[in-house]
Amino acid sequence: MEIIAWIGFSQGLFAAIIMMSKKNRTIPDKILTAWLTLLAIEFFSCAIDYRLFNYPMLSSSFLLFNPAFYLYVRSLVQPDFRLKPMQLAHLLPFLFFEIFAYILHEPYMLFGYLNLDSTYWFRLAFAIASLTSWVTYNSTATLLIYRHRSRLVDEFSNIESNKKITWLFFVVIFYNLYCLVLVVSGIFNVFMYIEFPLSPVVNYSALLVLVYVLGFYGLKQDVIFREFTDITKSDEKNSSQMLSEEQTNVIKGDLIEYFEKTKPYLNPDLSMDMLSKSLGYPKHHITEVLNKEIGKNFFQFVNEYRIEAVKSTLSDDKNYFSIEAIGYECGFNSKSSFFTIFKKATGQTPLQYKNSKI
């Protein structure tokens, strides 16, 4: 167990240092750096516990991991997220139980956990706080990820892997399985008096895996929202206002005219923020027109123009560009997304469509 603790300390600290050296660090990068540093300290305290007492003090990575994960997810999926001193309050439960575990000299020992002794109140409060933290923060973070993924089609014309944050879903699944193992282990220890001496090993081994995952994918994670305009900020305040029929027709006409004349879809980075700024309409108004009047989301609307541009180019006998080059020229940002979207819309691959026009 002590070996795992020292490995976790070194890997957590190393990952934090790597994150600090990342160029153009964003708010999510800063949160992840602090998170990895705190995890390294948690491993270090565990290693010292084994050196001094030959067993770890009662500590919960739940109370550290849960709020940090929640804040990291929020910083990724909410473009208006800002770091505030009050957010440090999320760490108060962790600090409280960490400090009092040493004051009371309470060991990490689930067998006999509910014995009515002088520190019973502390162990009971610790269990309630850990379970509440897991359920509250984890469910909220999962909901944020789900809502973010569901609205991607209304925000971006090309959805890259860093925008989908699929790796965070892996973290959610793995972390919940890990928590369930600990809960089941705790039930057997506390209520059935069947001791599982590997509980701390399971706990810190799973935490070590998460340190590797967070360090690796966090370093690769790019900022999701590159542009955040003043028009976007007004969306939240005015999102309940419905458009009149006249307003809908005006926005629809301006939108179609803008796409026909300016061809913004040729820009692979085109986003709803950029479109909102160019047209001068709030995002939620454009989204309402697209969804209710045109019957498409932003992703579908933009990529239909791209597909038509590709079809027009493929039908041109004087065109000598490769199919992949045509896709890039028409606004797609990858070969895979180009082929997938084109076949879904036409029922043919780009090559099949080109051959059918010969």
3-state secondary structure 246-265: HHHHHHHHHHHHHHHHHCHH
With 80 as the cut, is the pLDDT of residue 182 above it? no
With 80 as the cut, is the pLDDT of residue 82 above it? yes
Task: Show the 3-state SS of 205-271.
Answer: HHHHHHHHHHHHHHHHCCCCCCCCCHHHHCHHHHCCCCCCHHHHHHHHHHHHHHHHHHCHHHCCCCE
Sequence-ordered list of residues with C-beta below 8 angstroms from that of 74, at least 6 positions apart, any chain: 81, 141, 144
Kindly report the pTM of this predicted structure.
0.84
Confidence of residue 249 (pLDDT cuts 50, 70, 90): very high
With 80 as the cut, is the pLDDT of residue 197 above it? no
| 176 in Cβ contact with 141 (< 8 Å) | no
Residue 148, classed as helix, strand or coil, is: helix
Q: Give the pLDDT of residue 22.
A: 86
Averaged pLDDT score across all residues of the chain:
86
**Which among 120, 125, 108 has a CA at the least distance from the CA of 58?**
108
Summarised one tens digit per residue, pLDDT across range 288-307 is 999 999 999 999 999 999 99
The CA distance from 160 to 353, in Å, is 25
Neighbours of 115 (CB within 10 A): 10
91 burial level (CB within 10 Å; 0-12, 13-18, 19+): middle
The answer to which of 124-128, 251-255, 258-262 has the lowest mean pLDDT is 124-128
Rounded to an integer, the average pLDDT of 67-91 is 91
Residue 50, classed as helix, strand or coil, is: helix
Q: Give the pLDDT of residue 252.
A: 95
Burial readout 183-196 (b: 16 or more C-beta within 10 A, e: otherwise): eebbebbbeeeeeb
Tokens linked to 170: 């892996």
Find tokens 């340190």 and name the residue: 211
Confidence of residue 315 (pLDDT cuts 50, 70, 90): confident
Find tokens 């050296």 and name the residue: 21
> What whole-number percentage of the chain has pLDDT above 90?
51
Tokens linked to 221: 């994670």
The CA distance from 98 to 108, in Å, is 11
Q: Give the pLDDT of residue 106.
A: 87
The CA distance from 279 to 298, in Å, is 14
Sorted by where each begins, the domain ranges of the chain are 2-220, 230-356
Main-chain dihedrals φ then ψ at residue 21, nearest 5 degrees: -85, -5
Q: Which amino acid would we find at residue 320?
A: Y
| 31 in Cβ contact with 71 (< 8 Å) | yes
> What whole-number percentage of the chain has pLDDT above 70?
91
Confidence of residue 14 (pLDDT cuts 50, 70, 90): very high
**Which among 63, 57, 21 has a CA at the least distance from the CA of 38?**
63
Tell which wins on pLDDT, 16 or 116. 16
Confidence of residue 228 (pLDDT cuts 50, 70, 90): very low
The CA distance from 16 to 32, in Å, is 8
Main-chain dihedrals φ then ψ at residue 340, nearest 5 degrees: -65, -50
The CA distance from 294 to 326, in Å, is 27
With 80 as the cut, is the pLDDT of residue 198 above it? no
The fold for domain 230-356 equals: Arc Repressor Mutant, subunit A (1.10.10)
Rounded to an integer, the average pLDDT of 5-14 is 92
DSSP per-residue codes, 65-104: HHHHHHHHHHHHH-TT----GGGGGGGHHHHHHHHHHHHT
